[in-house]
């Protein structure tokens, strides 16, 4: 496998990892926005303020926890993709070197 192909494969994998991370950020932001919107709706209702504030904080906290979980999962997937690319690249480079020096 030529070095250009290896480099292109690694670039493709890194690009895919970046897309996954960006999707996770978008989902996390949507979750947080939804939590804030729900909190605003609760605040605008005629409920006792202590209950509203408690529920608001809980909704926002749950949204943050969910966003963090999704971000961690996506980050782990991205690192896994990059790690696998590095392993594959190392193997291909070793194979090319052995062919070039006549050890194949």
Task: State residue 85's pLDDT score.
Answer: 78
What are the helix (H) ranges across 2-100? Answer: 3-44, 49-100
Cβ partners under 8 Å of residue 102, min gap 6: none
Task: State residue 49's pLDDT score.
Answer: 74
* Residue 83: C-alpha distances to residues 63, 74, 76, 88, 102 (Å): 30, 14, 10, 9, 29
Give, in degrees to the nearest 5, the angle at Cα 54 between 52 and 59: 90
Low-confidence stretches of the chain (pLDDT beneath 70): 1-3, 6, 46-47, 104
**Domain residues of the chain, as ranges?**
3-89
**Residue 84, both tokens:** 């696998």
Dist. CA 104–CA 54, nearest whole Å: 69
């Amino acid at each position: 496998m030529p070095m250009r192909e290896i480099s292109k494969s690694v670039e493709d994998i890194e690009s895919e990892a970046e897309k996954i991370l960006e999707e996770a950020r978008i989902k996390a932001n949507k979750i947080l926005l939804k939590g804030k919107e729900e909190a605003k709706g609760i605040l605008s209702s005629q409920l006792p303020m202590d209950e509203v504030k408690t529920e608001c904080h809980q909704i926002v906290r749950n949204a943050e926890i969910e966003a963090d979980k999704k971000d961690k999962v996506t980050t782990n997937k991205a690192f896994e993709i990059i790690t696998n690319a590095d392993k594959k690249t190392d193997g291909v480079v070793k194979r090319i070197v052995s062919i070039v020096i006549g050890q194949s």
